[in-house]
Amino acid sequence: MLRLSTATLATLSTAGCLTGQPSTQTVTMSDNLTFEPSTATVETGETVTWANESDIQHTVTAYENEIPDEAEYFASGGFESERAARNRVTEGLIPPGEKYEHTFDLPGTYGYFCVPHEGSGMVGTVRVR
């Protein structure tokens, strides 16, 4: 299942390059407490997939004041606010080997972080063109 899913993503990604169709961008979460790439750039309407390739749990949690005013709040766990995501952190944890994805429908710059590792500098940015 995971294998099929990865192959599908790769196919979509390649197709996107060739035809200009919407594609996805993958950001990995690693054992050294980083998002790679730390700044991901996508086109409006594209999806970012965060893949936890580490042995520990992480979250993807938007900074409420670092996303465009009109944009929908996003966080693993499906929270509607940064406060809720912080208060109920265990519900937003992405286990090792799992993924979280979000589709960006508005251009702009989106700052996000990992709740457990924010203090270690585990933060990232998505730029939507």
What residues make contact with Cu ion under the rule CB under 5 A? 58, 114, 117, 122
Residues 129 and 116: their CA atoms lie apart, in Å, by 29
For Cu ion, give the closer residue by CB, 102 or 117: 117
Residues 92 and 60: their CA atoms lie apart, in Å, by 8
For Cu ion, give the closer residue by CB, 85 or 122: 122
Chain centroid offset of residue 90 CA: 17
Q: Would you state the structure tokens that stand for residue 48, as one six-digit string?
A: 């970012």
- Cβ at position 124, least distance to Cu ion in Å: 10
Contacts of 40 (CB under 8 A, 6+ apart): 25, 27, 48, 124, 125, 126, 127
- Cβ at position 39, least distance to Cu ion in Å: 17
- Cβ at position 42, least distance to Cu ion in Å: 21
For Cu ion, give the closer residue by CB, 50 or 110: 50
